Every structure is written in structure tokens, then in C-alpha cells.
């Protein structure tokens, strides 16, 4: 069966994968074949950080697996859309929450200072302040 297939230009597929993975970050990727995409996914970050000669045999094996996977239906014959990454846990926000934070920051900046630092020459060294300065709160 493989004798009937046109030969695969692995290096050309590698170059396409590198270019399209860069473009995918902005959602502008255009793949010539879904197997090239799936091979790129299989290789992972090495695709972007290694040269072709460094991963040539791994790349060729990944392309062969992807071609077989797409043909057998094990891998989808379509490339999934790119989704934006979710924010880290605890880092989720909405425009309303961001506006509240900005209002709070502006209020802090508008207030007068509530403490002053005094640094008398003869003040003993503080265990928490390396400069020997004391903090006085203004009531």
C-alpha cells in the first residue's frame, strides 16, 4: 500500500510545521495536511527549539504515525481551532473587577501618607529595619 503513495518531503513538512506553529499563536495558521499538524503536536516544544537535523528521525516517525493515524481515523482529519489559554487559577478577572481594582489603586494614590519615617542619628538598630529608621504612624 505504501508503494502507491507519493514520497513525503519530511524536511519541507518540518519547515511548514515550524512556521505554522508560530502563526498558530495568533490564530493565523494554514496547514497543507492535518498529518503535519498532528506530527507537530506529537513532537511538542522540541519542534520550536531544535533544528531539523537534531530531530530528523523523531520527526519522520511522528509524520508517519500521523499520516497513518489520519488515514485510519485514529486522528481527526481536521485541525482543531486554536483556543486562548485559560488564566491561571486565582488570576481570573472580568472588566468589572479590573475597574474596581483600578479605582482602589487611584484612591490609594490620592490619599495623603499615613506614616513617616524618622531616622535619628542615635537611634538603635531595629531588628526589622536594616537602616535603623523607625516608622511613626500619624493619627
Q: Is residue 83 part of a domain?
A: no
pLDDT tens for 82-134 read 887 777 777 777 788 888 888 988 988 888 766 555 555 554 554 444 445 55
The pTM is what?
0.59
In a domain, 48, yes or no: yes
Q: Which of 12-16, 26-30, 88-92, 125-129 has the lowest mean pLDDT?
A: 125-129
Q: Is residue 46 part of a domain?
A: yes
Per the domain annotation, does 50 fall within a domain?
yes
Nearest CA-CA partner of 65 in 30, 13, 12, 24 = 13
In a domain, 108, yes or no: no
Per the structure, the count of domains in the chain is 1
Alpha helices in the chain (DSSP H): 10-24, 34-43, 46-49, 52-72, 95-110
pLDDT at 127: 47
* Phi and psi torsions of 134, nearest 5°: -105, 150
pLDDT band at 75 (very low <50, low <70, confident <90, very high): very high
Q: What's the domain range around 21?
A: 2-72
What average pLDDT does this structure show over 46-63? Answer: 95
Q: Tell me, yes or no, whether 14 lies in a domain.
A: yes
Please provide residue 4's backbone torsions phi and psi, each rounded to the nearest 5 degrees.
-80, -15
Amino acid at each position: 500500500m505504501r508503494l502507491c503513495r507519493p514520497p513525503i518531503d519530511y524536511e519541507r513538512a518540518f519547515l511548514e510545521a515550524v512556521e505554522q506553529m508560530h502563526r498558530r499563536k495568533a490564530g493565523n495558521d494554514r496547514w497543507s495536511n492535518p498529518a503535519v499538524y498532528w506530527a507537530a503536536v506529537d513532537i511538542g516544544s522540541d519542534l520550536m527549539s531544535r533544528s531539523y537535523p537534531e530531530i530528523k528521525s523523531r520527526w519522520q516517525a511522528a509524520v508517519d504515525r500521523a499520516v497513518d493515524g489520519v488515514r485510519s481515523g485514529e486522528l481527526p482529519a481536521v485541525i482543531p481551532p486554536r483556543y486562548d489559554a485559560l488564566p491561571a487559577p486565582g488570576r481570573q478577572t472580568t472588566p468589572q473587577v479590573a475597574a474596581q481594582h483600578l479605582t482602589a489603586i487611584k484612591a490609594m494614590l490620592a490619599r495623603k501618607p499615613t506614616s513617616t519615617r524618622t531616622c535619628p542619628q542615635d537611634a538603635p538598630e531595629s531588628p526589622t529595619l536594616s537602616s535603623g529608621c523607625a516608622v511613626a504612624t500619624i493619627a
